[in-house]
């Protein structure tokens, strides 16, 4: 598609997974393209079921298998608009799931992921990939309200 449209803006539908372990920590990956942290996810392929795409992306990027996914939210709008370091521009619609039931061993996807690490909500890194900030802020709010409620 990019060969045809170049760097012009495209609507991109993503399927993503916030992995949360039993200690309340989430798994983030340091991306190789922008050196920012974010959760696993990527574009939904033609005719692909969104939940299957989320599971596929999680496995490809982290080596983990999602045994159970819970829909967390759909994030879109100006806050998720992004220009990649290579100049490709997208208006993201990110369908995000929470996964607390997973299996496998962590293995970073060599082509896209520099590092995988679990973080406590209060210790998330400052360098978050910009289009993922709205979902992670909502996740932190929900985590705080669970602790206080």
Whether pLDDT at 148 is above 80? no
* pTM (2 d.p.): 0.93
% the chain with pLDDT above 90: 89
Whether pLDDT at 144 is above 90? no
Cβ density class 73-103: b for 16+ within 10 Å, e for less: eebbeeebebeeeeebebebebbbbbbeebe
Burial zone of 114 (CB within 10 Å; 0-12 exposed, 13-18 middle, 19+ buried): middle
Chain mean pLDDT for the chain? 95
**105: helix, coil or strand?**
coil
**pLDDT per residue as tens digits for the range 87-110:** 999 999 999 999 999 999 999 999
Catalytic-residue membership of 114: no
Over residues 12-32, the mean pLDDT reads: 97
Q: What are the structural domains of the chain?
A: 2-148 (3.90.79.10)
Tokens of 107: 């293995």
The answer for 35, left when phi > 0, alpha when psi is -120 to 50, beta otherwise, is left
* Active-site pick, 45, 70, 114, 115: 115
pLDDT of residue 94: 98
Contact in structure between 38 and 132 (CB atoms under 8 Å): yes
Find the Cα–Cα–Cα–Cα dihedral 48, 59, 41, 125, rounded to 10°. 170
Whether pLDDT at 145 is above 90? no
Find the Cα–Cα–Cα–Cα dihedral 17, 109, 60, 130, rounded to 10°. 30
Over residues 6-17, the mean pLDDT reads: 94
Cβ density class 41-57: b for 16+ within 10 Å, e for less: bbebeeeeebbebbbbb
Whether pLDDT at 149 is above 70? no
């Amino acid at each position: 598609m990019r060969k045809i449209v170049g760097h012009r803006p495209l609507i991109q539908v993503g399927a993503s997974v916030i992995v949360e372990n039993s200690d309340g920590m989430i798994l983030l990956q340091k991306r190789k393209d922008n050196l920012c942290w974010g959760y696993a996810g990527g574009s939904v392929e033609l005719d692909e079921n969104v939940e299957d795409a989320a599971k596929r992306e999680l496995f490809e990027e982290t080596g983990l298998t999602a045994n159970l996914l819970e829909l967390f939210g759909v994030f879109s709008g100006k806050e998720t608009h992004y220009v990649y370091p290579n100049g490709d521009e997208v208006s993201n619609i990110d369908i995000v799931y929470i996964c607390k039931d997973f299996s496998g061993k962590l293995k970073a996807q060599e082509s896209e992921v520099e590092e995988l690490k679990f973080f406590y909500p209060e210790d998330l890194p400052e360098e978050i990939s910009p289009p993922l900030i709205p979902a992670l802020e909502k996740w932190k709010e929900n985590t705080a309200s669970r602790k206080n409620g």
